[in-house]
Chains A and B, each alone.
Chain A
Amino acid sequence: MVASTGNSLFAVEWLLLIFLIVCAVFVSCARDLLNAVVIFMSYSLIMAVIWVLLQAPDLAITEAAVGAGVTSLLFFLALRRVDRIGHSQEKKEEHHD
């Protein structure tokens, strides 16, 4: 494994960090909770890429499996438990009719 030179990935680093902040803002601003959770999932995936850039592959694997996978899954299940997802689907179906 070759050490990253830093300079060649400079633009990628900045882009990922800006994505990260934009995702966090939209998690906070999203009015639909389902959207917020989906955006949080993408936030975790971007975080996993950042761990690779920071030369921490252990963290990247764990974050991709745990942060993007299991945590988001738990949020989805909790939303299903409080009927949030079912409601929005019904509303959309009514809208199409």
Chain B
Amino acid sequence: MLGRLILNHYEAAAIILSGIGLATLLFHRNLIKKILGLNIMDSACFLFLAAKGYVARRAAPILLPASEGRWVAHAGAYVNPIPAGLVLTGIVVSVSVTAFALALTLRFYKHYGTLDIDAAFTRTRGTEPEEEASPDPATEKMRERLEQEGLL
């Protein structure tokens, strides 16, 4: 397996990069870190696609001049142009997704005053007025009972 992976080193690197991006996305509480992780996953996908289109010892897909007014136009001379076109689309879409996510993050910061997801959610839970004013009867009952028994 390792030998095959070394043969396919671009693809293997792309997989490892997307793993790192996924870990960043999952384990960081900071929203900007999460967006960075999403960007890393994006570019890992692009690297994988472009690596699938590469053919050794061939030129970039721009027609080369053969003689006066003629062009080299056989498929054996150039690398695969299709992944390049797809990835070109993807890079621009990833920028717009990043900009949109960052705009949402700024609104989030404006509303909660923090970039930390957990802190923001605990804050909303802590400041909800109904919860503090009247706890539900079951909690109240248990509280009385615990006070009687000296657990509290």
Known: A6-B56, A14-B9, A40-B39. A75 touches B91 (CB 8 A): no
Q: Write the residues of chain B forming the contact surface with A, with a CB cutoff of 8 angstroms.
A: 9-10, 13, 16-17, 20-21, 23-24, 28, 30, 32-33, 35-37, 39-40, 43, 46-47, 50-51, 53-54, 56-62, 64, 79, 83-84, 87-88, 91-92, 94-95, 98-99, 102, 105-106, 109, 115
Q: Evaluate contact between A75 and B95: CB separation under 8 angstroms.
A: no
Docked Cα-Cα span, A27 to B135, in Å, equals 44
Asked if A21 is at the interface of the complex by the 8 Å CB criterion, the answer is: yes
Which of A1, A54, A66, A82 has a CB less than 8 Å from the CB of B95? Answer: A66
Docked Cα-Cα span, A57 to B87, in Å, equals 12
Docked Cα-Cα span, A75 to B62, in Å, equals 34
Q: Evaluate contact between B36 and A13: CB separation under 8 angstroms.
A: no
**Dominant SS among interface residues on chain A:** helix
A49 to chain B, nearest CB (A): 12
Known: A2-B59, A17-B9, A51-B50. A74 touches B99 (CB 8 A): yes
Docked Cα-Cα span, A3 to B35, in Å, equals 36
Q: Write the residues of chain A forming the contact surface with B, with a CB cutoff of 8 angstroms.
A: 1-6, 13-14, 17, 20-21, 24-25, 27-28, 33, 36-37, 40, 43-44, 47, 50-51, 54-59, 62-63, 66-67, 70-71, 74-75, 78-79, 81-82
